[in-house]
Structure 1
């Protein structure tokens, strides 16, 4: 399998070149921590736009925490994949304790990442939500649904599953991907270097703005 990107910086620069071809109204770039932030930093530089984060936490199935049945942000409504809930015999009501835990963690991380800096205003702006790739999309869905005050909401990623565009139809104003391979596998498979991004790196990148 041919790798598409060397690392997240390479992916962000390539995505940034694509996005810079379009006209934007007072763009704001929001990275999904942690892996989306290095990509978003390159996009923000390409657009000359401010950089911030939108933190969405995956809500895992009981006993299968790695399998996200939904996600929630610090303040917005939770998003659940109804097909995933049905597969595990779950309901949104049953997931409320897990949702509350993940919302609290989202708030804690958001405060830590901003390190005392105020949030970047999104009302009336074109807001570009950036991640390093999109597989199931539950965290990205929670993130974009938390941005109803934005003028336009755009979800942009270097690589995504081929059916991702349909998943976000009606949820975002525009979906942009550098590549959507037919034989999609885990996001990391498309990078040569997919080293885990640290919290310290996120704070450092945001502090440059």
Structure 2
């Protein structure tokens, strides 16, 4: 059962106040098409390495160049959805991965993950990271696209307590509460986005059952 429209709207408003991008998708194919479109529109990752101004060997110099093939990570999509996304990526020349993210820490353009719950009062995503791949996806990609079924949006933080308590009774994993894009500020209170995580957070409200 979908969350009330006013609850979804409250989540959207709160999420956008902390720099998240939001949109609605009627089904998974629409959401996956958005993922590929977002990847196509962004600039390719660039490794920020020191010493690139010095005389380097050819292999070392290659590391200082913009990565030519864009990469999308989708560690928790179903096999069917991963295959569908793979077809779209192949058409655009994008690399699609679901594991081995440690080998791509300097060059993941888009990470797409499911969200297990949403908290409307703060525009917060709740993600249960059952694997290192899923946790890395939410941390190292330049853009994190979270797929949030509107049916799992709750009004307040205490409404997700039963779900979190259920998880706590199972083997440990990493549960993340994500509100907006990664941000920090120095001692002079100058805000910087993407220092400790993704530069952008996109939230796709999935309305299909």
TM-score when normalising by structure 2: 0.40
TM-score when normalising by structure 1: 0.40
Greater relative contact order (CA < 8 Å, ≥ 6 in sequence):
2
Larger radius of gyration: 2
